[in-house]
Amino acid sequence: MEYIFTLKFQLAGQDQDYDDLVECLGAAGCDDALVGIGQPGRFALAFNRDAVTAKAAIFSALADVKKAAPSATLLEATPDFVGLTDVAELVGMTRQNLRKLMLQYGASFPAPVHEGSAAVWHLADVLGWLQGRGSYAIEQAALDVALITLQVNLARQQQRLAPKLQREVAALLA
């Protein structure tokens, strides 16, 4: 099955030759990705990867990038953080319709990760909620990718938490 996702990376200061990077990525197995270079020291890979599972697709892509650019640090795996417009486009409905559902089913609609002038959700949470309602055609591959990118991003963020604080927070949340 084909899985579509993007991995965003930060390069170490010494590894900023993008021509070499692109060659190394292709040689390491990332020939199924479109390479994007925007901000200095960063790059993104938009993958269309064939694999048995979304996890296998994303994990093999991460391993391939690590082979090609050992100093690269993962910044984000997407799709994960989304607004209502992003979700609406993905599932083929209007933003207004999705907002109506959010307001109508506020008690069960997933809570946003960030609320403010622009609210942000984990895509996996909203897709799972929509799928659970049974009246929306959610592509399983899209949900699978969203679940894995969420887990990858959470694991990446957890590494930043001091071990002692991690234990204290875990005890409070148990």
Which helix (H) or strand (E) segment holds residue 95: the answer is: helix 95-104
Average pLDDT over residues 26-33: 94
Q: In this predicted model, what pLDDT tens digit does every residue of 44-84 receive, in sequence order? A: 999 999 999 999 999 999 999 999 999 899 999 999 999 99
pLDDT of the residue at 116: 85
Mean pLDDT of 22-26: 91
Range of the structural domain that residue 120 is part of: 81-138
Q: Do 85 and 60 have their domain in common?
A: no
- Supply the CATH number for residue 101's domain: 1.10.1660
**One domain, residues 8 and 70:** yes
Task: Write down the number of H helices and E strands in the chain.
Answer: 7, 6
Asked which of 11-25, 38-52, 119-133 is least confident by mean pLDDT, the reply is 11-25
Q: Which residues pair with 36 in a beta bridge?
A: 44
Based on the fold, state whether residues 45 and 102 are members of the same structural domain.
Answer: no
Closest Cα to residue 84, out of 138, 134, 123, 136? 123
The average pLDDT across 7-32 equals 87
pLDDT above 70 coverage of the chain, percent: 98
Give tens-digit pLDDT for 77-117. Answer: 999 999 999 999 999 999 999 999 999 988 999 999 999 88
Query: In this structure, are residues 126 and 86 in contact, taking their beta carbons and an 8 Å threshold?
Result: no
Task: Report residue 146's pLDDT band, with 50, 70 and 90 as the boundaries.
Answer: very high
What is the count of structural domains for the chain?
2
CA distance 100 to 119: 15
Report whether pLDDT(128) > 90: yes
The pLDDT score that the predictor gives to residue 14 is 64
